[in-house]
């Protein structure tokens, strides 16, 4: 499955996997760079040396000389995994998601090859993208992207996380910052995410947690669309 057609106003679940299932980051320096890249690659203005230009600034601070920020797309949710990443995006300009994914992937590949003296593509082909066609899919998608994936990294694994849901929830919020889960429980001030429709669905941390727990403790009724992206 590749990218389904979509237009302005569409919500898209995007996923990209490392070539041959290999890691796309190797240390926390790489992981923090990915988080920063979600912000700095998501705008029309391009500075080839953005890391150098922002080196003396705060993590997500833009130089005063740069023009006003014009994002390619709206990022509603994200998670970085060892060998892939998931994004929940909203198309706000024609072709914006495609441009963002190209900038994100290109920068990651160039950096990885330079740092680790590798060659070739970091990723396994293009990104997979599925249009979020209704609220039912979106309500299933949100906890799978932002919670299930983080729980897979919990000490002891996913099943242990489900057995210790409250502890795993706190672990995900405090110990794994490389997802948008903290944005939805009020513990992150990163400028990456605009909550948009997801924030309207889950206006409080308690409502988000209750929904995630209900969905993850029962996979009954999970759509085939979501299985194709989240369980491959």
Q: pLDDT tens for residues 66-88?
A: 999 999 999 999 999 999 999 99
Domain hosting residue 151, numbered range: 134-230
Closest listed residue to residue 96, CA positions, set 14, 196, 214, 174: 14
The answer to whether residues 21 and 71 belong to one domain is yes
In this predicted structure, what is the pLDDT of residue 232?
46
Q: Is residue 119 part of a domain?
A: yes
Q: pLDDT digit string (tens) for 158-204?
A: 999 999 999 999 999 999 999 999 999 977 889 999 999 999 999 99
pTM of the model: 0.93
The answer to whether residues 114 and 198 belong to one domain is no
Q: Say which DSSP state 145 is in.
A: I
Domain count, the chain: 2
- Mean pLDDT over each residue of the chain, to the nearest integer: 92
Q: Is residue 172 part of a domain?
A: yes
The answer to whether residues 104 and 29 belong to one domain is yes
């Amino acid at each position: 499955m590749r990218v389904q057609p979509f237009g302005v106003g569409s919500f898209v679940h995007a996923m990209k996997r490392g070539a041959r299932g290999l890691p796309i980051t190797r240390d926390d320096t790489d992981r923090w760079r990915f988080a920063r890249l979600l912000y700095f690659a998501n705008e029309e203005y391009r500075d080839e040396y953005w890391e150098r230009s922002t080196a003396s600034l705060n993590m997500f601070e833009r130089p005063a000389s740069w023009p006003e920020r014009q994002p390619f797309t709206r990022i509603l949710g994200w998670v970085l995994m060892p060998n892939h990443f998931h994004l929940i995006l909203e198309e706000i300009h024609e072709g914006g998601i495609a441009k963002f994914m190209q900038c994100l992937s290109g920068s990651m590949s160039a950096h990885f090859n330079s740092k680790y003296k590798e060659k070739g593509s970091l990723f396994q082909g293009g990104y997979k993208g599925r249009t979020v066609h209704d609220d039912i899919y979106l309500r299933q998608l949100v906890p799978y992207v932002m919670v299930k994936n983080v729980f897979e990294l919990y000490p002891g694994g996913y099943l242990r996380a489900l057995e210790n849901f409250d502890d795993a929830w706190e672990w995900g919020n405090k110990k794994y910052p490389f997802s948008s889960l903290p944005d939805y429980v009020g513990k992150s001030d990163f400028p990456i995410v605009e909550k948009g429709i997801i924030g309207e669905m889950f206006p409080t941390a308690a409502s988000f947690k209750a929904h995630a727990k209900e969905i993850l403790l029962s996979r009954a009724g999970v759509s085939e669309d979501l299985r194709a992206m989240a369980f491959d």
